[in-house]
Structure 1
Amino acid sequence: MNATLAGIAAALLYTVASAMLGRQLLRREKPRAPVIQALGGLALPLHLISIHAQIYQPTGLDLGLFHISSLVGWLIAALAIGMSLYKPIISITVAAFPLAILGLTLSLFAPSTYTPGTLTPGAESHILLSILAYSVLTIAAAQALLVAVQDRHLRTHKQGLMNALPPLQTMESLLFSLIGTGFVLLTLAIVTGFLTLNDLFAQHVAHKTVLTLAAWTVFAVLLAGRHWLGWRGPTAIRFTLWGFALLLLGFYGSKLVLELVLGRSA
């Protein structure tokens, strides 16, 4: 199947699923999870065909900004759908699918400035763990936003999304499960980076390393506060979004500057 057509078909399926779920949430209806899961499940393999054709080049792996964005979008959508099969988290796809659409669209229509090349097994492990950690923590950030809306509606005695989402306690439990998983993956990514890469504090990647370590610290403090002080609600939301913002700057900011501004592979 043509990779471009596969990508376009995947984007259309994500769009239909997003529109359907958004409409149900706006109407304060319980999301029809099986339909959303089916549409997303059909989109995932088509999206993967597009990713494979873009990243795997004759001269090596093309890990440019837009291709990585498509891969991250696919992982976010896949994780959201997978988790929704056994946890009441289908509402998170209202953010996951648009992110997948954005990454996929950029990879299809924006030119790559990355120079493909081969990687050592250690570097591949570091990159894979980094992408997984970022994907999980992106879902956690989206979950934190949903918890923030739900908490605000609860405090102001508005029904709104309350009827369409699981209880707040369940939503917060899911949030910390995501943060815990993402934190473990981020820790492994940092460790493999220090063990397998030459110099994580070299001039062109130092800011990425510092921002990633700062994000790791924020998530570590949040999890410690949750365990020993029972942090939840607005405090948990703020820490989650601060940590994600730092990670976003480290993960995407450095690649954007290096590739699109300086014309170097990151």
Structure 2
Amino acid sequence: MLLAFVIASTAYIVVSLYIGWALTTNRVIHKSASLALLLIGILAHAVLLYPYIVTLYGLNFNLFNVLSLTSLFFLLFYVLFSLYRPIISLGILAAPTALLGMTAGYVGRAPYQPITDISLGLETHILLSLAAYCVLLMAAVQALFLRLQIRELKHKTIHRFWVNKLPSLQSMESLLFDMLLVGFVLLSIALGIGFIYVQDLMAQHIVHKTVFSLLSWLLFGGLLFGHWRSGWRGKRAANITIYAFILLAIGFVGSKFVLEMLL
């Protein structure tokens, strides 16, 4: 396990430093080499994480394992989006995020209730929920970057760091709605499967998680409908994305933190 941790950490650190160096010196980032190295890190990260989640006593989705898995999904979706969008520079955020999440999963320990005799439907619900959370986390970060770019353009600042270092505003906005659509579809399927397979919301302590997830789903859905129907974009789209993700995070991570770390 130590070897997998070292390999993944090295890959993430090297890519982070390389992209950071390229951005500060205005050099062209070699996309193929960067993504190839990240794929090596992703494979090592997955090998490291697997035995922590799949245990002899059942599935272990404690807080730290979920953080590690979320960061793994985060990086994987970044690589996939990078294949058709000019966003390789955003690896300066994606790679360190994966490193931090993996490290938390590797060293962190939390009490957990093993998930045993789980149905295929519930497994699908859990994995789709994590994937949706991850994509929508990326959308929230993307929205923050979009806000920073819009602010620089609006105030006509001389030194436009975010405008100059990140992809164009049009590319960033298109990527935001790509992420929102993918995340919303994943979240919709996950919630639908959850309502079918979850037996007792009160007994499983997931009422608050369900309520916050539904509120978030409504906001994301409303934003996508407003974009399609009325052309919502820019600052409004960024703000709604951030607010919707905050609701999702309260229900998803906040509830796990309270149940596992405080109670």
TM superposition score normalised by structure 1:
0.91
**1:143, distance to aligned residue in structure 2 (A):** 1.3
Identify unmatched segments of 5+ residues in structure 1: none
Aligned-pair distance for 1:221?
Answer: 1.4
Q: Which residue of 2 aligns with 1:150?
A: 149
Q: Deviations over 1:126-154 (max 9, x none)?
A: 10110110111111112112212222222
The yes-or-no answer on 1:75 pairing with 2:73 is: yes
Corresponding residue of 1:164: 165
Evaluate the alpha carbon distance shift between residue 52 and residue 61 of structure 1 in structure 2; reply closer, same or farther with a 3 A threshold.
same
Once residues 102 and 153 of structure 1 are traced to their aligned partners in structure 2, the CA distance between those partners, rounded to angstroms, is 29
In the TM superposition, residue 30 of structure 1 has moved relative to its aligned partner by 4.5
Report the AA paired with residue 11 of structure 1.
S
What is the alpha-carbon distance in structure 2 between the residues aligned to residue 120 and residue 178 of structure 1? 29
CA contact (8 A) 1:30 1:165 kept: no
Task: Output the CA distance in 2 between the equivalents of 1:194 and 1:34.
Answer: 42
Which stretch of structure 1 is more off in the superposition, 106-115 or 251-260?
Answer: 106-115
Aligned to 1:103, which of 101, 105, 110?
Answer: 101
Aligned to 2:152, the other structure's residue is in SS state helix
Residue 228 of structure 1 corresponds to 229
User: In 2, distance between residues paired with 1:251 and 1:175?
Assistant: 21
Separation (CA, whole Å) in 2 of partners of 1:165 and 1:30: 13
Percent identical pairs in the alignment equals 40
Aligned to 2:129: 130
Task: Give the Cα separation in 2 of the matches to 1:98 and 1:231.
Answer: 32
User: Hey, what's the Cα distance between the residues in 1 that align with 2:91 and 2:152?
Assistant: 21
Opposite residue 134 of structure 1, the aligned amino acid is Y
Q: Secondary structure at the match of 1:111?
A: coil
Partner Cα separation in structure 1 for residue 239 and residue 25 of structure 2: 28
Compared with structure 1, are the counterparts of its residues 75 and 258 closer, same or farther at alpha carbon in structure 2 (3 Å cutoff)? Answer: same
Q: Post-superposition shift, 1:258?
A: 0.8
Question: Are the counterparts in 1 of residues 90 and 166 from structure 2 also a CA contact under 8 Å?
Answer: no
Change (3 A) 1:5 1:172: same
Counterpart for residue 120 of structure 1: 119
1:186 aligned onto 2:187: yes
Partners of 1:60 and 1:43 lie apart in 2 by 26
**What SS class does the counterpart of residue 195 from structure 1 fall into?**
helix
CA contact (8 A) 1:201 1:209 kept: no
Q: Separation in 2 of the partners of 1:140 and 1:94? A: 16
The residue that corresponds to 1:5 in the other structure is 3
Question: How far does residue 63 in structure 1 lie from its aligned partner after superposition?
Answer: 1.1
**How far apart in 1 are the matches of 2:168 and 2:72?**
28
C-alpha RMSD over aligned residues: 1.7
1:201 & 1:225 partners in 2: Cα distance?
Answer: 34
Deviation at 1:202, TM superposition (A): 4.9
Aligned to 1:195: 196
**Displacement after TM superposition at 1:203 (Å):** 7.3
CA distance, structure 2, for counterparts of residue 239 and residue 29 of structure 1: 34
- Aligned partners of 1:69 and 1:8: how far apart in 2? 18
How many residues are treated as equivalent by the alignment? 260
Q: Deviations over 1:22-57 (max 9, x none)?
A: 333344554332332122122111101111121111
**After the TM superposition, which residues 16-27 of structure 1 pair with which residues of structure 2 at under 5 Å, given as runs?**
16-27=14-25
Q: Distance in 2 between matches of 1:60 and 1:243?
A: 32
Tell me how far apart the structure 1 counterparts of residues 109 and 37 of structure 2 sit (CA, whole Å): 28
Q: Is the 8 A contact 1:28 1:161 kept in 2?
A: no
Tell me what 1:57 maps to.
Answer: 55
Contact 1:31–1:164 (Cα < 8 Å) also in 2: no
C-alpha distance in structure 2 between counterparts of 1:160 and 1:100, whole Å: 24
Contact residue 194 and residue 200 of structure 1 kept, 8 A? no
